[in-house]
Structure 1
Amino acid sequence: MRIHWFSPLSPERTDIGHFTLRVCEELAKHCDLTLWTHPQHFSGPQQPSWRKRYKAFPYSEFEQQLEALNRADAIFYNIGNNAAFHREILDAMRRVPGVAIMHDRCLFECISSVYREKPHGERLFSQLMEVTYGPEAKSDNAAWLKGDRSLDQLATQYPFDEHAALGAWGTIHHSDPVDDQPPSAPAPHSWTLSLPYPAEPLLNAPKLRERDGCLHCLLFGYLGGPNRRLAETLQALKAYPQKDRIRLHLAGEVHENFKIDSLLAKLGLSEQVTREGFLPENELDQLLSGSDLVINLRFPTRGEASGSLLRAWNQAAPSAVTNRGAYAQLPDDVVWKVDPEQEASQLMGIWDSLLLDPQAAVEKGQAGRRLLQRKHSVESYVASLLEIAATPGIERGPTILPLLEQRYALFAQQLFQLSPEDVVPVLSSLDRELETWFR
């Protein structure tokens, strides 16, 4: 079986790159695997280690490899919410159909960025909002640009999940639909698979609490988005009566627009908060192993399944999550759940309980690790991918057909200089030809 896999890869600073390498180590045992990723990984004196293990191409060689792509048994496209990592993947999926692995259910940020980067991008995206969601959406977009609507409001109301999956004959999700997201039309082929993460040996690093008697909390990953609740967590820490007994570590990217240093100075938290920066995986795992609590709040949720949560459980690190979306479905014994309406008070309640009873953190972390081992196996995930890759062409056809019709219509229009009305009879004859391909 020949499988092609499009994804950002390390050292790009996205957990989807780590996800890909975890999955592909197992997937490569069962198929002829080809990776596609950013051209930056194919130049320079230092090549990433995965280059020696896998056959790989840069996105820039897409045109030269069209024959190989069209002959593949399956192509998997990894789609996330950061356009910097996924714009080329979206373009490729519209050229050669495959399966979209949707790492978020709400893709507003990615799609809006892709369109707004184009010439006349603001106008193009405004038109897309109207065509996809109606005149009210166009007005909401204008209000957002003026600062009268928040990004969170638009992202929740206009997820663009179906638009992001254009060109896919099937979609894979890692979580169920979020509570406040409008239901989308069911895809002809859609699967929900638990996000995989291999349970590795525990590091058992000394607890940081043993060093100074304080409760050490960790917030890590990409911390620039407002839904990660960084500002709200800092406000809760400032108001906490025992804040001198709390140490908060920030590991990962903090968006430059988030003036973290000035905010810490303003809140008087420079002593309580340590900025770790972006850490290599082994150093991050060491920090997780030594932490008493991982704060992994997401509100509004984008419908994502958190790789951060699985990484924490891998080191038996206990976590606090927002009681919304997929996180609300987690068993109560594996996480602390925080309601957005009582976020500050409930965070303080967790800190109170852990200062009184540190063993509660140990029990939560161990329960999370057991869930990871039971539900998030890489082997079972890859087995499902192989079943999906074996989907017969006749079942893929009805999904791909409209995309091919649009492509041939545009080609006929350009080649014969036809008006849109004149394209219709040409399409009718093409329909009959295309249908024979999938019989």
Structure 2
Amino acid sequence: MTPARNGLTVWTPLPPERNGIADYSAILLGGLAAHYDCRVACDDWLGLTPAGIAVVDPALAHRGAGPRVLHQIGNNPGHGFVLHGLRGMPGVTTLHDPGLLYLHETMGAAGATIRAGMAAALPGLAAVYGRQHREHGIQTRANHLLFDLAGEVLARSRAVVVHSAYARNRLRLVHGPAATAHVAVIPHFVPPGALPDRAAARARLGLPQDGFLVLTAGFATAVKRFDWLIEALALAIGQGAALRWIHAGAERPEEYALGAAIAARPAVAARAHVTGYLDEAALDDHIAAADLLVNLRFPSGGESSGSLARAFAAGTCCMVSDTAAYAELPRDAVLHLPLTGSVGLLAEALCAMAAEPARAAAIGALGRRHAEAEMALPAVAARYRDVIEESLGRPVAPDAPREVVSTLVLEAGPRLLARDLEAVLAGRRGPCRLLLAVPDLAALADLTLDRPGLLGDLLPLAARLVSVRVEAAPRPGLLLDLDLGGAA
């Protein structure tokens, strides 16, 4: 008789959410399934998992859960429910990006809570750089770079996984050795299985078999230094380099106006294309078809890159910034671009490799060899297993005390209007707890089915929804935690 295997509950977003960590988690689950009976707590019950792995409602994840829990947390709105899960079910946390300030903002954390997290890690800097936030409610780019707000994750996790020594050392510098003694480094894995053949990928994409293709990937943001790349491409094209550039990803004009920057350089625009968001198969085709993946970061917070791992697996030559986690990659496996004189050096490299593509192919082959030795999924999953098992006896800090606020009650029925809620909230500021009361849970189910956009219709613009949960007793209903502004 085969002995029963231990269960593992994984809190994470899942595909089809447009979130690189969702893709990471879906693939990692396939590796973890070799060691555990996995299930996933996800706020999208239609999330995609490997065969045989169930998705459970985060509100019910505690039922039948054992001590083995893994949280996947990144710095974007898709991970708010994971942070809530960590508060209730401590376990191992993969911290994909230590800079969690944006996550807390999008979760509706009160200003005082955010500033307390900033000051707890770097009190001297918080006194200076937190002034604009404290006095005017303005969050600067410097704040997002300097303050990670990872203290709660470190305290509530039995172990924390990061993808580079740089990320571990950064946490240690900010939070101290004692608070980070349980941080382990596990590299980003390469996807299992072979990526597409270069010729076949180009054929599917309608690209010519010859010609040097430069690729960038993912969401277009300022830290990926498209400004450097566009200027370098213009220089290289002006010197006669025969190449084309594709950005395999979506533009985020509110962060970086990529289309406008390309249009301002007509020579580059004639050889450039932005695909928009791509599914996994299309992204793999673009990476396999490329001669060079340019993956720059400055400034870097120590984040990892799924597209870089895919390029390693495809044997595509990669160019990275010589900084942070990227500086740890073997010098023969990637091209490292210095942070000084970057534009001119990048232009020189583009000209040289476009003239002799075999040089790029040779570097790509060494990158694939490195990935096969250090980043294979079974090895990464086994290291996760070791961290999870070793963490089981480690205590965690008690959950941070929550501000106690009185609960307002509003009878919720089919005729409930926004003005009814406005009347209850009139004159209130700061944290607020509101119960939309119903006779029983059956009535609540009927109400939410009849009015699926209920909260969006009811809540005033000034009210930020921090959390919502179903209450069965002492009075049934929807319990809302709100931030009405004006506090702190």
Flag whether TM exceeds 0.5 (same fold): yes
CA RMSD of aligned residues (A): 3.0
Shift of 1:15: 1.8
Shift of 1:296: 0.4
The one-letter amino acid paired with 1:286 is: D
Greater share of residues in helix: 1
1:101 counterpart (87, 94, 99): 94
Residue aligning to 1:76: 70
* Unpaired stretches in structure 1, ≥5 consecutive residues: 43-47, 415-439
SS of the aligned residue for 2:354 comes to helix
Seen in structure 2, the aligned counterparts of structure 1 residues 345 and 180 have a Cα distance that, compared at 3 Å, is: farther
Instruction: State the identity as a percent.
Output: 20
1:29 counterpart (34, 43, 60): 34
2:80 counterpart (69, 87, 92): 87
Shift of 1:159: 2.5
TM-score for the superposition, normalised by structure 1:
0.80
1:259 counterpart (254, 257, 260): 257
Contact between 2:296 and 2:321, CA under 8 Å: does it hold in 1?
A: yes
Q: Which moved more, 1:335-344 or 1:380-389?
A: 380-389
Shift of 1:37: 1.3
Distance 2:240 2:260 in 1: 19
Contact between 1:316 and 1:362, CA under 8 Å: does it hold in 2?
A: yes
Shift of 1:370: 0.8
Shift of 1:341: 1.5
Contact between 1:195 and 1:376, CA under 8 Å: does it hold in 2?
A: yes
Residue aligning to 1:347: 346
Deviations 1:335-374 (A, max 9, x none): 1110122210111111121122110011011111111111
Alignment of 1:93-132 (within 5 A): 93-114=86-107, 117-118=108-109, 121-132=110-121
Distance 2:226 2:152 in 1: 30
Residue aligning to 1:197: 190
Seen in structure 2, the aligned counterparts of structure 1 residues 389 and 148 have a Cα distance that, compared at 3 Å, is: closer
1:55 and 2:63 matched: no
Shift of 1:113: 3.6
Distance 1:138 1:272 in 2: 48
Distance 1:270 1:80 in 2: 33
SS of the aligned residue for 1:191 comes to strand
Alignment of 1:132-147 (within 5 A): 132-134=121-123, 136-143=125-132
Distance 1:75 1:212 in 2: 47
Seen in structure 2, the aligned counterparts of structure 1 residues 140 and 155 have a Cα distance that, compared at 3 Å, is: same
The one-letter amino acid paired with 2:73 is: I
Seen in structure 2, the aligned counterparts of structure 1 residues 297 and 144 have a Cα distance that, compared at 3 Å, is: farther
SS of the aligned residue for 1:294 comes to strand
Q: Which moved more, 1:185-194 or 1:166-175?
A: 185-194
Distance 1:309 1:142 in 2: 37
Residue aligning to 1:430: none
SS of the aligned residue for 1:50 comes to coil
Residue aligning to 2:164: 175
Deviations 1:416-439 (A, max 9, x none): xxxxxxxxxxxxxxxxxxxxxxxx
Shift of 1:80: 0.9
Residue aligning to 2:334: 335
Distance 2:209 2:382 in 1: 46
Distance 2:329 2:185 in 1: 16
The one-letter amino acid paired with 1:184 is: H
Residue aligning to 2:219: 222
Distance 2:335 2:50 in 1: 40
The one-letter amino acid paired with 2:99 is: C
The one-letter amino acid paired with 2:96 is: H
Contact between 2:319 and 2:335, CA under 8 Å: does it hold in 1?
A: yes
